[in-house]
Chains A and B, each alone.
Chain A
Amino acid sequence: MTDNPDLSRDGIEPRAAAAMTAAPVDEWFAREVLRLESALVQYLHRNWRNPSDIADLKQDIYVQVYEAALREIPVHTRQFVFTTARNLLINRVRREQVVSIEAVADLDGLETAEDTPGPDRTVVARDELRQLQLAMERLPDRQREVFRMAQIEGLSGREIAFRLGLAENTVSQHLTKATQLIADILYGEPKDLRRDEP
């Protein structure tokens, strides 16, 4: 297996192909792939005209990358992810002739991994904290409160429900939404820009 994804593959690989157990792949994915997400999303926005497709495209790229990693974890994650993205966009255009004319900004000019900005690698604890703080500030009030109690104070969902006088189900829903938003903010957004509206 090489780091270059097969150009013809744009579907879901059969799970039976999985040779490796999932745990190391999950760790690799969380550690190496997710930190590329904001660059990947920017890349998709630059190269695909319809913004409402981006979430689907991202998921398809992640699934391909993940399933390839189940066979063998790529050595050069960044190159692998962006090559997968590029091939997926090209295949999509070829397959869906109708949208091809305007879907991709410039098929021949599609950037490769080397052109995309480097991943954000914050090394100073202060900066990371600041980033988390900014992310937390953007949650709606109730979600922020519940998430803070869970993550920072280390309270369980039940304790939070008791303290705030809320139904456990309500607390659970707040935590679900907060988790989703925090993931989008931490991974999906460009780190140098701070948007006021999600």
Chain B
Amino acid sequence: MSDAPETPTVQAIEIQAAHWAQRRHFWPWSTEDQLALDAWLETSSAHRVAFVRMNAALLRTKRLAALQSIAPRRSGDTSHWLRSNKIAAAFIVAAVMAGLTSFTLLKPQGPTQTTYSTPKGGRQTIAFSDGSRVELNTDTVLRIEVGAKERHAWLDKGEAYFQIQHDAARPFVVTAGARRITDLGTKFLLRRDHKRLEVSLLEGRIKLDAQSGKKFSSTNLEPGETAIVTPDKIEIRRKSQAELVTKLGWRRGVVTFDQTTIADAIAEFNRYNKHKLVVGDSKAARITIGGTFDVNNVETFIDIARQDFGLHAVTQGDETVLSK
């Protein structure tokens, strides 16, 4: 090229970039190391581009390895190098996205923070002036802080559907425990139950950063993907459009079951109703059920359980026990 003769060759830059990337992933990483890397990246865009590429390759292979935990296994294929029990654990290894600016979890603070909450069975829609909307499902607590440089939400519990107008200068970030979701222009659904977080992306893109102990992983989700984050692993599953629509049934006040066990269906109903359903025995728990129900219409569900599945229903106060 026409540059000065001492300009390093493309090959030399790539080796250096690969060196930095793998060191950052697999070796102890100090502040000094980060500063040295930053200095190298600042030297030229060619350095930065090469580093972004190597880093992305490592993140991608790591993510593919994590996917193995949900891919179907072929029996008798013993030579398969991916057959490792540690695959899920491998995903938790430090993997901060290429940005490299220090990762800071934003603390809830400031006078502009607003808390929204819904009771059991409740729903609420929050509309923002920029056209963004957030819909809260039953039994949900969401805090929102709109700043000049960032829009931030904290999902403390429950489920919310986000339709966010993208603004590169003012990203929308949701924190749920040690997980952080950054929208890159998008529609997504978050459901948080205790230590489990489910992230479903319907449109656009989001980045999911998860923290486990001192380690981070960063994943970009594609539309149709659902990430299930538990303290020790992340699973990514592809969902059909129909499945995603079903997941959003609550926006219309319905839940849809398909080959769902009575135990799971009851757990779902109990999210919405004060009147609690309880499974009386394991035989009843294993029966599977299908159909769409009004979330608040426990009676219909009990009727069907009785008439179609021959279950006995005993109601006492705020609780109904279903048994075979």
A→B interface (CB under 8 Å) = 12, 15, 20-24, 26-27, 29-31, 34, 55-56, 58-60, 62-63, 66-67, 73, 95, 123-126, 128-129, 131-133, 135-136, 148, 150-154, 156-158, 160, 172, 175-180, 182-183, 186-187
Contacts and interface: CB of A to CB of B under 8 A. Distances in A.
B111 to A, nearest CB: 26
Contact of B11 (A29, A55, A131): A55
Contacts of B238: 123-125
A30 B100 CA distance: 13
A176 B23 CA distance: 8
A160 B27 CA distance: 11
Contacts of A34: 52-53, 56
Interface in B36-57: 41-42, 44-46, 48-50, 52-57
B76 to A, nearest CB: 17
Contacts of B18: 176-177, 179-180, 183
Which of B21, B60, B82, B100 has the largest number of chain A CB atoms within 10 A? Answer: B60
A158 B67 CA distance: 26
A158 B82 contact: no
A124 B53 CA distance: 23
Contacts of B49: 29, 59, 62-63, 66
B207 interface: yes
A156 B99 CA distance: 22
Contacts of A30: 52-53, 55-56, 59, 97-98
Contacts, number: 167
A183 B26 contact: no
B19 A186 contact: no
B99 A22 contact: yes
A153 to B, nearest CB: 5
A110 B26 CA distance: 43
Interface in B165-215: 168, 171, 184, 205, 207
A59 B10 contact: yes
Nearest to A132: B64
Interface string B8-26: 0011011100110111011
